[in-house]
Each structure stands twice: as C-alpha cells, then as structure tokens.
Amino acid sequence: WSRIFPDGLGKEINEQGVAFYNNLIDFMIEKGIQPYATLYHWDLPHNLQRTMGGWLSDKIVEYFALYAEACFANFGDRVKHWITINEPIQTCINAYGIGIFAPGLCKGVSAEPFLAGHHQILAHAAAVDVYRRKFKAKQGGQVGFVIDCEWAEPMSDKMEDQAAAARRIDFQLGWFLDPIYFGDYPESMRQRVGEHLPKFSEKDRELMRNKIDFIGLNHYTSRIIGHQPNSQPQEIHFYQVQQIDRTDKWSSGEAIGERAASEWLLIVPWGIRKTINYIVKKYENPIIYITENGMDDEDDPSAPVDQFLNDTKRVNFFKGYLGSVAQAIKDGADVRGYFAWSFLDNFEWAMGFTKRFGIVYVDYKNG
C-alpha cells in the first residue's frame, strides 16, 4: 500500500512502485509462477495512522478501496488471485491491543482491537465490491481473505470445555468470516464483548454479503482449550472475555505436540485437518487455499551450515501437515492450493533474523 500510495490517500500514484510490481509479476510469469497477490500485509501508510488513527477510523475503508482499485487496474490483467488482508486478527490484537506490532498501540481501550477489525472487514468487502463491479467481467479473477487460526481442541468431553473450544474458534475465524457469510459477529462474541463490539448497519450488511471468492487459511499449530470462568488480570480484554484455559498439555502432562523453535509453535499435524473440516461445515464448503504453513529453527550463527541442512524435523513437519491436508481433501474439502511459509529464511517480523522458517537456508553473512 505504502509503495503504491505513499500518503495512503489514493491521489497520486507512485509510478516507481507500480513499475517494481510490474517487473516482479512479469518475471514470475516468465518463470512459470502464478502470482497470488496480497494487498495488505501490515504495510499501513504512516500518513493514515498519523492523521486518522489508521484502522480505527471508518475513513480508511474508502482509502483501502481506492488502493485496491489501483492495483486491480495496473496488475489485474496478469494477477488472477487477490488477497485483500492478511491475518487481520494480528493487526487488531498485536497492533491495537498488545502493542507489539506497528503502530504499537496499547492504551488499554478494550474497544480498539474490535474497531480495527470492524473496519478491516468492511475494507475487504469494499475492495471485493470494486473488483466485481469494475474488473471481474474482463479480468476473471478471484478475491479472498486470509484468516489465521490455531485449532482449539477441547480439554475434555465436558460441555463447558466443548463450548470453550468453540468459543475460541469464534474469536479467531468467526470474528472475520461470520459477518461476510452471515451478516454479523458470532453470538458468543456479542455476549462477551458487548458494547465494545461495533454494530453493522443494513448498508454494511449489503456491502459484505457474499463478498468472498475463497478463504485463505494460515495455520501453524493447535492448543488444548478448557473453560476458565475467572479471567487472568494480566491478560488483555480480548483474552479475558473468552473465558478459556489455553494450554499445550493434556491433564496427563503429555504435550499436544513437539515444539519448534518458537514458544508458540507446537507441531500438531492433525489440527490442520480439523480446522479445514470446521470451515467446510460452517461456511458451506468454500474454496480454500492454505496460504501459510511451516515451522521455524532457532538461528545459531556459530552452528555449521550442515546442521541446518540436515533438516529432518522440517521434512517430517511438512509430511505430517501435507498428509493431513490430503486427508481433509478426501473428507470433501475443496482445497485448491498450499503455500509453505517460507520459501526462504527471512526477516520474521518482530523476531527479526532470530528464527528461520525457510525451506531454503539463507546465509545472512555471506549472501
């Protein structure tokens, strides 16, 4: 976004930015690679944050639609698969709740993460609306929305634990998909978030209705979920209202899966099958792409390269997860594609170069 419209307002396009993406897209196609383009992967133009509070302002919906239209016009003759927004929950919670992602807001205002999410849903719908009205007939592409979700496995057969696990999924998938498919947020969110959860107008509902061609699922891990009536005071409001006990161990002490390098990433291949099948059942078997799935190694500058290249753990990870995706397809899921995260070791957001997700090792020192 900031490369196409540095000020975010859609008034003056950056031709150098357009040329950059044209060259990249043309090169990919020349090499036989079909481009899947994400419009927003957290690169908010600073001017929009500075002047109107970024995703906290309803004005951003219009500006995002202008940006999307410029991309469709310049690249849509070659790009046939568009993703509007990547992992909106991360922007909402980590950027406008906890404050560990840009713009780093942590004001303790319970409504702000939900307001940011509200505007991202409407921005997605506005972008799809522009595409269908102005470009789809000629370009024939599809526009989707990428949601990240860890599977929530109930801690026990107790009804309260089953309900807690379902609630956890509502606060991940349902938050962003239910408005598009059903016109409103999940009832579990309405009950627990209350007045902090914005309301959709009839105009909003009309804009959102069926504004999705595919669901992109980013999935890495799973957790065991039980009911926890007493919220922890150190948790932010988003987690407090869910009333869940989120753990990586069963009551026996056995871990749900082997840990990768990151503390949050437990290797649980069967979780992706359950997540896909949940989406199939609730959202009437939509087209699904697995848009991110992978695991990380700890970067150790002193370790010999051979240690990284003997990559048995990652090989087993992908065997397990791809096998579970294949099982979901046999179950009836319409999964059209799979993207590993990541092709190369990269600058992994707040973790920088300390974690290596690449299936290809990158020598940072010697290029």
**Lowest mean pLDDT segment, chosen from 49-63, 100-114, 349-363:** 100-114
| Residues of the chain by 3-state class (helix, strand, coil), percent to 5 | 45, 15, 40
Q: Active-site positions?
A: 87, 292
- Work out how many domains the chain is built from and give that number: 1
Q: Which of 238, 226, 236, 253 shows the shortest CA–CA distance to 193? A: 238
Q: 196 and 117 in contact (C-beta within 8 Å)?
A: no
The answer as to whether 28 is a domain residue is no
What is the structure's pLDDT at 245?
A: 94
Predicted model pTM: 0.96
126 vs 147: CA distance, rounded Å: 18
The answer as to whether 27 is a domain residue is no
266: β partners: 259
Handedness of CA 2, 6, 11, 14 (dihedral sign): negative
The answer as to whether 200 is a domain residue is yes
User: E strand or H helix at 258, and its extent?
Assistant: strand 258-259
**Lowest mean pLDDT segment, chosen from 150-164, 176-190, 231-245, 269-283:** 231-245
Mean pLDDT, residues 339-353: 91
The answer as to whether 5 is a domain residue is no
251: preceding bond cis by omega (within 30 degrees): no
The answer as to whether 63 is a domain residue is yes
Q: 194 and 240 in contact (C-beta within 8 Å)?
A: no
Residue type, 107: K
Asked if pLDDT for residue 74 goes beyond 70, the answer is yes
pLDDT digits (tens, 9 = 90+) for 191-238: 999 999 999 999 999 999 999 999 999 999 999 999 998 877 667 889
pLDDT digits (tens, 9 = 90+) for 84-119: 999 999 999 999 988 888 887 776 668 999 999 999
Domain encompassing residue 346? 33-356
Residue 284 CB neighbour total at 10 angstroms: 8
CATH code at position 53: 3.20.20.80
